[in-house]
Amino acid sequence: DVPLSEDLQLYIVSLCEGKNIDPAIVFAMIWRESRFNPLSVGDNGNSLGLMQIQPRFHSGLMAEFGCDDLLDPYQNVTIGIAILAGHVNYYDGNVEMGVMAYNAGKAGAYNAYFSKGVYSSPYSQSVMEKAEELKGAKK
């Protein structure tokens, strides 16, 4: 159970199912990124909404999906889940690597972690642990 409306939770689950992403991972990322605050603004105003998306890096994806307001929770998770799914697919289904790339970007994750043979980070560990906690709460 997370502090988001039932409609938004169902929307997230539906998007995740369509992209073969575990919804618990997305809910854990939202917890980590914004503590479920859809109006969260971070990184000196550069990261917006539930999934703390930076429009300067994702304007093409936003245009593709017709999203122009990352403080709208539905638009935000649409883009965030698309970003995450792209990373997970890029890393052949490795969710933790996808989560790391979501946080640091592909180049940042490669330079800071993957090139050194490191496939877990404090960020990804916290997301993976929170996802397991959320799955446990569901049962």
Helix, coil or strand: residue 48:
strand
Q: Say if CB 101 and CB 90 are below 8 A apart.
A: yes
Residue tagged active-site, from 6, 33, 64, 96: 33
Report residue 81 CA to chain centroid gap: 6
H and E: helices and strands count for the chain: 6, 2
What contacts 43, CB < 8 A, 6 or more positions away?
52, 54
Q: Tell me if residue 33 is catalytic.
A: yes
Catalytic residues: 33
